[in-house]
Amino acid sequence: MNQLAQHAVELMRRAGVAYGDVRFVETREQDLAVNNAVVESASEERSRGFGVRVLINGSWGFHSSYIVTEAEIARVVDVACQIARASGLVADKPVTLAPVAPARGSYVTPHTKDPFAVPLADKLALLVKASELMMGEPIGVSQSFFAAYETRKIFASTEGALTDQTIIETGGGIAATAVGDGEIQVRSYPNSFRGNFATAGYEYFESLDILAHAARVKAEAAELLKAPPCPSGRRTIILDGGQLALQVHESIGHPIELDRVIGMESAYAGDSFLTLEKLDNLQYGSKLINVVADATAPGGLGTFAWDDEGVPAERTAIITAGRFVGYMSSRETAPVIGRTSTGSMRASSWSRIPLIRMTNVNLLPHQGTLAELIADTADGLFLATNHSWSIDNKRLNFQFGTEIAWEIKAGKLGQIFRNPTYTGVTPEFWNSCDAVCGPSEWKLYGTPNCGKGQPGQTAHVGHGVAPARFRNVEVGVMKQS
Amino acid sequence: MNLQGKDELLRLAETVLAASRAEETEVVLMTAEDYLTRFAKNVIHQNVGSRHASICVRTVTDRRIGVAEAEALDEATIAATLAKAQEISAVRPRLDDFKHLPKPGKISPIAAFDPATADCTPERRAELVAQLAAAARRKKAEAAGLVQTQTAEILVANSRGVRAYHSSTGAQFQSVVTCGDGSGFAEDQAFSLDRLDSRRVIRDSVGKAVRSRKPQPIDAGEIDVVLEPAAVGSLVAMLGFLGFGAKALQEGQSFMVGKIGQKITGEAITIIDNARHARLRGFPFDFEGVPRKRVKLIERGVAVGVVYDSYLAGREPGRHASTGHALPPKYSSYGAMPVNLVMDGGSESLAGLVAGTKRGLLVTRFHYVNVVEQMKAVLTGMTRDGTFLIENGKIVGPITNLRFTEAVLEAFARTAGLTRARRLVEEGVLCPAMKIRGFRFTGTTGF
């Protein structure tokens, strides 16, 4: 495909584009789902195609196709140029790109076991076993999941870039749903919505040891069915890693995307409260809040060698001691703040343009263990595992629900509550943080379902977090009926 | 235009069926060509196209099912996809509830293909953007949104005789206009670009942005609302996802559980799934090639039924047949879903609903609606792009956005009027505007 890539670049040069790039992408995906010990889904999908992005007279055009032949490449380059010229009919200032040295090289996700080489029967047997362990009253739905993705991308540009990288992602998990008296309650491991994922091989899925957690997951789901609803009020809360990862995702990860900030996404997912004058000026959170966007973090679901503009992976400071110091940017948007690209552009497939996507937006650890943090809390709630999420189009007012809450009294976990929710406003919430656990509790969570863009794209992104404590948070806002 | 045509897709499908060693085999072939012109701040900033084709093969032997999919239609890929499906089938445990792939049913075609839309140029899409941008500039406003044109075809064939083909086009125009701190939204979609009411989209989104400048905060709490169709549609679509599929019902996870035949919401509420509605023009069959039936879900507030695919119907033998709502095989674990929801309207006009409101809010649409509590259909979300205070039957000014957290079926039971006019909204739902008494808002924000 390298030759085809160079052919596409040559055609773009001949067409007189100011800039052009091509991505050839081959993907393979395996999805397994077991429900009540029955294999409900076992599928494998392959995709292959290419996309051509051109800049003509300062305007973009993009076209793509599943037919990988020289003739189709020529047609697609032509149409991409026609589309770019049409973009120029409704244009203003020409797009300029931040400089980057042309990338050359190759990369493969470090892994020890190819997830596709593990016999399907073995994987299914494990999932069925996990599901069986969670079955029995009052569990109505006992699910186990596995998924693996392999994505090979060859990127070439008219500036001379040529990279070849293969990203391997693996993950899965279990969930038990207790059903009874018009109520359902779910517990999941290691995270909700089909588990947790990493850039890694099958060894990552093995490390989750889903069988060892099945009995606890079942028991907690059953207990939740009988538990009282979470009471409302202003409370101290401790968030576990799974919930905190999504809190970081929604209220830090998305607002720092510079394309949102300058209005490029305003019609769909919205823009951001983090307007440009807030850079280096906003106290985003308390002094304990240190956040980086780190595409180099081993195992993170947003880990790679180059982004889809050929910009090398980097670790970017986002929040330092609570102060907002950096956005995630692209070559097009970085000049707006006088900086270079942070290497955040990724496309979900060959048929999509790259957008600014989170890499691994990580809340850095501080000190202590979760046990010590709970022991240090006189009165509060420990909320675990995301169940529900919603945030406004500027990323300020959020509301989350978790699968379970434990009451904390005098430094000890007490009774559990069902249907816990909490709500807040982003900077107020992060400024209310008075404890973040240390490195021993820090863990990477993978979010494989981050939506953005039109046409829609689903990105795989990561968040490293350790449990943290927040004061005076509004809890239990849900209508009880 | 990228259509392969019925004959060519049929030829490819027959080669798969002939080559398969499985007891039963199904092949789904799709091609599509999508173009989307996206704009923000009155300029086109993203402008994309894509040409797709895919094959999905499902094989069944001894009730062991294998599914494989690939994005190409060359002979080697087709052969490899069939082989992969059979390989998966060989090691997958038996699915005892599975009966058979469906037999053919009578499929009446739905006319939803417009050649002019299929051949739409990027210049034509840019022309619509230019008209909107000019209107926005005249008001010192900025437009964002999209113009999209699509072409698609699908063929479903199986070894029990199903041969179903459909081709369609689609067009969408969506506008979010900002004017200072004001924001307005409008959209339209149809199977043909020429049927889009672009003048209305431009007029409404620009006008609403201008009128929603300088919004004032109000406290959260229970207040009457007039929800425009875009806001109603996002609630109805979520109800469809949560509760109108047979899988959720069978597994005890739907708000319909134990309530079929019982009243679950207000008498004013009737929701059906109807691919044949003239405004929707959906696919005439599902991803198993079963004709889509018109399914009553809620009728005058009473839970009536849910949608089925052949597998879920087979789990209730003698009681249900597939209603033609199967998802693609790779998504089969999600069960059957309604995809052409239609909500009955009433006798009011939007102006009449506003005029009849002593104190309330007019809501243009909601943002990021999500589930808080599934069994009670408790949803949360934010208002956006034009929220206005109504006092004594008149719109008195814009307000800052609010978060709602509400049990939607209970809220629908407090319906105080529905408009006769209905709109097809982004989620693919055809619905009216409606007035609800005492809608619960639980949070505020500063914009």
Q: Give the pLDDT confidence of B259-288 residue by residue, as tens digits.
A: 999 999 999 999 999 999 999 999 999 999
Helices within B59-170 (DSSP H only): 75-91, 115-118, 122-138
- CATH for A2-226 is 3.30.2290.10
Chain B interface, mutation test: which of A68, A123, A332, A399, most B Cβ atoms within 10 Å? A399
A140 and B405 in contact by Cβ < 8 A?
Answer: no
Q: Residue A85: list chain B partners with CB under 8 A.
A: 122
A479 and B440 in contact by Cβ < 8 A?
Answer: yes
Q: Which of residues 167-206 of B touch A (CB under 8 A)?
A: 174-176, 178
Q: Per residue in B314-328, is it b (16+ CB within 10 Å) or e — as a string?
A: bbeeeebebbbbbbb
| Chain A nearest C-alpha distance from B397 (Å) | 21
- Distance between CA atoms of A230 and B281, rounded to whole angstroms? 45
- Distance between CA atoms of B388 and B211, rounded to whole angstroms? 9
- Contact (CB, 8 A) for A188 and A174: yes
- Contact (CB, 8 A) for B252 and A184: yes
Q: Residue B70: list chain A partners with CB under 8 A.
A: 45-47
Closest chain A residue by Cα to residue B123 = A86
Q: Which residue shows structure tokens 């983090």?
A: A274
Q: Which of residues 243-302 of B touch A (CB under 8 A)?
A: 251-253, 257-258
pLDDT at B2 over 50: yes
Give the closest of A266, A391, A455 to B178, CB-based: A266
| Per-residue pLDDT, B330 | 79
Q: Residue A38: list chain B partners with CB under 8 A.
A: 93, 95-97
- Distance between CA atoms of A162 and A155, rounded to whole angstroms? 5
Q: Residue B49: list chain A partners with CB under 8 A.
A: 62-64, 79-80, 83
Closest chain B residue by Cα to residue A400 = B372
Q: Residue A425: list chain B partners with CB under 8 A.
A: 445-446
B38 and A267 in contact by Cβ < 8 A?
Answer: yes
- Distance between CA atoms of B217 and A225, rounded to whole angstroms? 39
- Distance between CA atoms of A88 and B37, rounded to whole angstroms? 12
- Distance between CA atoms of B152 and B3, rounded to whole angstroms? 7
| SS3 of residue A118 by DSSP | coil
A89 and B123 in contact by Cβ < 8 A?
Answer: yes
Q: Which of residues 154-173 of B touch A (CB under 8 A)?
A: none
For chain A, residues with pLDDT lower than 70 are 478-481
- Contact (CB, 8 A) for B177 and B309: no
- The band of B329, judged by pLDDT with boundaries at 50, 70 and 90, is confident
A46 and B69 in contact by Cβ < 8 A?
Answer: yes
Q: What angle do CA B92, B100, B295 make, to 5 degrees?
A: 115
Could you tell me the sign of the dihedral formed by the alpha carbons of A134, A135, A139, A142, in that order? Answer: positive
A91 and B44 in contact by Cβ < 8 A?
Answer: yes
**For A43, what's the count of Cα atoms within 13 Å in the CB-facing half-sphere?**
19
Closest chain A residue by Cα to residue B330 = A43
Q: Residue A182: list chain B partners with CB under 8 A.
A: 257-258, 375
| SS3 of residue B6 by DSSP | helix
Could you tell me the sign of the dihedral formed by the alpha carbons of A120, A121, A125, A131, in that order? Answer: positive
- Residues in Cβ contact with A125 at an 8 Å cutoff, skipping those fewer than 6 apart: none
Chain B interface, mutation test: which of A87, A271, A452, A458, most B Cβ atoms within 10 Å? A87
Give the closest of B47, B67, B95 to A60, CB-based: B47
- Distance between CA atoms of A39 and B95, rounded to whole angstroms? 7
Domain ranges (residues) in chain B: 6-200, 215-447
Helices A2-14 and A70-87 cross at an angle (nearest 10°) of 40
- The secondary structure of residue B121, as a DSSP letter, is -
Q: What is the pLDDT of residues A91-123, one digit of tens each?
A: 999 999 999 999 999 999 999 999 999 999 999
Q: Which of residues 24-53 of B touch A (CB under 8 A)?
A: 34-53
- The band of B332, judged by pLDDT with boundaries at 50, 70 and 90, is confident
Nearest to B223 by CA among B386, B443, B442, B437: B437
Chain A interface, mutation test: which of B51, B78, B364, most A Cβ atoms within 10 Å? B51
Nearest to A259 by CA among A316, A342, A319, A324: A342
| Per-residue pLDDT, B115 | 96
B44 and A90 in contact by Cβ < 8 A?
Answer: yes
- Contact (CB, 8 A) for B163 and B107: no
Q: Which residue shows structure tokens 């890539």?
A: A5
- The secondary structure of residue B216, as a DSSP letter, is B
Nearest to A182 by CA among B378, B357, B383: B378
CB atoms within 10 A of CB A207: 10
| Per-residue pLDDT, A258 | 98
Tell me the CA end-to-end span of chain B in Å, nearest whole number: 44
Give the closest of A61, A179, A396 to B253, CB-based: A179
A40 and B333 in contact by Cβ < 8 A?
Answer: yes
Q: Residue B403: list chain A partners with CB under 8 A.
A: 390, 392, 397, 399, 423
- Distance between CA atoms of B199 and A29, rounded to whole angstroms? 44
pLDDT over 70, % of chain B: 100
- Distance between CA atoms of B200 and B189, rounded to whole angstroms? 12
A267 and B146 in contact by Cβ < 8 A?
Answer: yes
Closest chain A residue by Cα to residue B53 = A66
- Distance between CA atoms of B362 and B399, rounded to whole angstroms? 10
Q: Residue A265: list chain B partners with CB under 8 A.
A: 40
CATH 3.30.2290.10 location in chain A:
2-226
Give the closest of A83, A179, A391 to B122, CB-based: A83
- Distance between CA atoms of A249 and A258, rounded to whole angstroms? 15
| Per-residue pLDDT, B376 | 94
- The band of B1, judged by pLDDT with boundaries at 50, 70 and 90, is low
B349: contact with A, CB 8 A cutoff: no
| Per-residue pLDDT, A1 | 77
Strands (E), A364-477: 379-391, 397-409, 412-417, 421-425, 433-436, 443-452, 457-465, 468-475
A38 and B96 in contact by Cβ < 8 A?
Answer: yes
Give the closest of B69, B96, B130 to A45, CB-based: B69
Give the closest of B72, B92, B123 to A66, CB-based: B72
- Distance between CA atoms of A329 and A279, rounded to whole angstroms? 13
CB pairs under 8 A between A and B: 262
Q: Residue B84: list chain A partners with CB under 8 A.
A: 44
- Distance between CA atoms of B403 and B405, rounded to whole angstroms? 7
- Contact (CB, 8 A) for B92 and A124: yes
Q: Residue A251: list chain B partners with CB under 8 A.
A: none
- Distance between CA atoms of A52 and A154, rounded to whole angstroms? 12
Cis peptide bond N-terminal to A138, omega within 30: yes
pLDDT at B438 over 90: yes
CATH homologous superfamily of domain B6-200? PmbA/TldD superfamily (3.30.2290.10)
- Distance between CA atoms of B8 and A327, rounded to whole angstroms? 50
Chain B interface, mutation test: which of A139, A246, A390, most B Cβ atoms within 10 Å? A390
What integer is the mean pLDDT of B142-168? 98
Q: Tell me which amino acid residue A12 is.
A: M
| Per-residue pLDDT, A480 | 44
Q: Per residue in B24-55, is it b (16+ CB within 10 Å) or e — as a string?
A: bbbbbbbbbbbbbbbbbbbbbbbbbbbbbbbb
- Distance between CA atoms of A115 and A129, rounded to whole angstroms? 19
CA dihedral defined by B208, B214, B220, B224, rounded to 10 degrees? -40
Chain B interface, mutation test: which of A26, A31, A40, A43, most B Cβ atoms within 10 Å? A43
Beta strands A457-465 and A412-417 are: unpaired
Cis peptide bond N-terminal to A427, omega within 30: no
- The secondary structure of residue A418, as a DSSP letter, is B
ipTM at complex level? 0.96
- Distance between CA atoms of A262 and A319, rounded to whole angstroms? 19
What integer is the mean pLDDT of B20-30? 98
Give the closest of A64, A89, A388 to B49, CB-based: A64
Q: Residue A393: list chain B partners with CB under 8 A.
A: 367-368, 382, 384
Q: Residue B88: list chain A partners with CB under 8 A.
A: 42-44, 120
A31 and B144 in contact by Cβ < 8 A?
Answer: no
Give the closest of A86, A179, A393 to B382, CB-based: A393
A86 and B44 in contact by Cβ < 8 A?
Answer: yes
Q: Residue A184: list chain B partners with CB under 8 A.
A: 252-253, 374-375
More confident residue, A478 or B216: B216
Could you tell me the sign of the dihedral formed by the alpha carbons of A80, A81, A84, A89, in that order? Answer: negative
- Residues in Cβ contact with A9 at an 8 Å cutoff, skipping those fewer than 6 apart: A20, A21, A22, A156, A157, A158
Q: Residue B176: list chain A partners with CB under 8 A.
A: 266-267
Helices within B244-344 (DSSP H only): 246-250, 310-314
Q: Residue A92: list chain B partners with CB under 8 A.
A: 41-43
